[in-house]
Amino acid sequence: MKKIFFVPDLLDYISKEKSVPMMSDFMNDVENAFMDHSFEVESINKKTYFIELSILPNRYGDCLTKEGMAREFCAIMNLPFSGKVEMSDRKIEVSTVFFQNFIDSNITEEIIKEKCKRLYIECVSTGNTLVFTPPKDRIDLETREDIAEEITRMIGFKNISSVPLANNNNTYQDPSEYKIIRKIILDLNKLGFTEIMTRTFTNKKGLEVLRPVASDKSFLRQDLSELQEVGKKNEIIKHACNKEEVKIFEIGKVFSPDGKESLELAWYASKKLKDEESEKLKDCVRIIKDIKSKNYNPVVWKDRGDLRMIPIRFSIIKRTPYIERDLSIYVPVTSTETTLIKEFKDVSESLKHFVTLYCFDTFEKEGKKSFAFRFVFQDAQKTLTDSDINIEMDKVYQHCKKNEYIVR
């Protein structure tokens, strides 16, 4: 829910012993303060002193009223609150060790109490345990994790120290299965096959669903036979795929009646396949069988001790939207995706707003080789305009011209 507040009204709740800051100077800090404490600022007018905030449902109990928001405002800005606070009868017991594990190993009981005082959460020590009593209208504070999150918010997420990952001898496996399936999909795309996805839930007898969403979705599929039914509806598929010949495939999970899950490949072609197409499909079937039997060789690391040498850094998630630009080019047939990405990344090192890029399409036709890349740009402080991106993409186009790549 969005709610508009007049900032001077909130300042009326500051204790008289504290002088009210000059509004013209004060408004410069208000927007950043709210955003740094998990509030979304929809708009702010620094001349009329109005601010529009998005209030999350869990904060409807206190932040929808002027007095409730004033209390939160004073906590965020570390100002004394002069209003009345009614406490609840809820008690939340948490050990100090939990906060040290959950937030920061350097956090002390004094820091916890100081942050709770700002939030008007009562905190009492009983041995190694802290007992918290939240205000009555803070219905969002029910668990120890809730209390820890509030304390972290007051400390500031960016002020939490980073801790290196512990070294261990566990085995880690990369997602090679996903990479292999992705390669199969791209290979079949090059042969003119279109990937489709049929329903996982069906009305055919098999592994029964405990609570089906509908009567015709009471079982999990045992095979991909529905693909054949879809393929036979030639005219619909032709129109959907914009092709005269229907060639479709699906790679999906199937389930046996005893609950075992496995991967299957199915395809349909309206005309007889060429020899090279048949051979490629046979290869794909063999690869799928290897995946099912776990005969493929994923990359495995048994010792990740080298991670200790990597500095761990955290950064604030950017609040501004990112912008994408696509680039399609014809290149020499000897060019590869890897070399082109390296080239463009070298060029992009000088670009101010460049984030990343990736290849999303490639094909060969009439002796030409084509690649399509997507460039992603973002600025931490502002929303980028087309003019900002055009300046940076011009450098990419200059690189293409220099290397005689033809922009499509």
The pLDDT of residue 54: 80
Backbone angles phi, psi at 122, to 5 degrees: -70, 135
**Would you say the CATH fold of 92-159 matches that of 2-77?**
yes
Q: What is the mean pLDDT of residues 237-260?
A: 78
Distances (CA, A) of 20 to 13, 17, 24, 47, 267: 10, 9, 12, 17, 73
| Nearest-5° Cα angle at 73, 69 to 78 | 150
| Nearest-5° Cα angle at 41, 37 to 44 | 125
Q: Which residue has the higher pLDDT, 57 or 200?
A: 200
Contacts of residue 201, Cβ cutoff 8 Å, sequence gap at least 6: 209, 212, 213, 217, 218, 219, 220, 221
> Rounded to whole angstroms, how far apart are CA atoms 352 and 174?
32
Tokens 């003019």 locate to 387
Q: What is the mean pLDDT of residues 228-237?
A: 71
- Kindly give the interhelix angle for 109-119 and 66-77, rounded to the nearest 10 degrees: 150
Distances (CA, A) of 170 to 36, 101, 204, 306: 37, 22, 42, 13
CATH topology of domain 172-293: BirA Bifunctional Protein; domain 2 (3.30.930)
Q: Give me the residue spans of the domains in the chain.
A: 2-77, 92-159, 172-293, 323-407
Q: Is 135 helix (H, G, I), strand (E, B) or coil?
A: strand
The strand ranges marked E within 91-223 are: 92-95, 122-126, 129-133, 172-173, 194-195, 201-202, 207-208, 219-220
Q: Among candidates 90, 175, 180, 83, which has minimal Cα distance to 141?
A: 90
- pLDDT score of 299 more than 50: no
CB atoms < 10 A from the CB of 1, how many? 11
The pLDDT of residue 236: 59
pLDDT per residue as tens digits for the range 304-352 = 344 334 444 555 667 788 889 999 999 988 888 888 988 998 888 888 8
Task: For domain 2-77, give the CATH number.
Answer: 3.30.56.10
The pLDDT of residue 397: 93
pLDDT per residue as tens digits for the range 58-105 = 777 777 788 888 888 888 888 888 888 889 888 999 988 888 888 887
Q: Among candidates 135, 130, 125, 145, which has minimal Cα distance to 94?
A: 130
Q: How far apart are the first and last CA of the chain?
A: 46
Second-level CATH architecture of 92-159? 2-Layer Sandwich (3.30)
pLDDT per residue as tens digits for the range 27-56 = 767 777 777 666 777 887 877 878 888 877
The pLDDT of residue 173: 46
The pLDDT of residue 316: 62
Q: Whole-number mean pLDDT of the chain?
A: 80
User: Which of the given ranges, 18-22, 164-168, 376-380, has the highest pLDDT on average?
Assistant: 376-380
- CATH value of 323-407 in 3.30.70.380, 3.40.1440.60, 3.40.50.10860, 3.30.70.141: 3.30.70.380
Instruction: Say which range, 170-179, 227-236, 379-388, has the weakest mean pLDDT.
Output: 170-179
Contacts of residue 32, Cβ cutoff 8 Å, sequence gap at least 6: none
Q: Which residue has the higher pLDDT, 165 or 353?
A: 353
The pLDDT of residue 298: 43
The pLDDT of residue 123: 92
- pLDDT score of 5 more than 80: no
Does the pTM exceed 0.75? no
> Rounded to whole angstroms, how far apart are CA atoms 345 and 142?
48
Q: Which residue has the higher pLDDT, 370 or 304?
A: 370
Backbone angles phi, psi at 3, to 5 degrees: -140, 135
Hey, what amino acid is at 206? G
Q: What is the band of 401 on the pLDDT scale with cuts at 50, 70, 90?
A: very high
- Kindly give the interhelix angle for 275-293 and 176-190, rounded to the nearest 10 degrees: 170
- pLDDT score of 166 more than 70: no
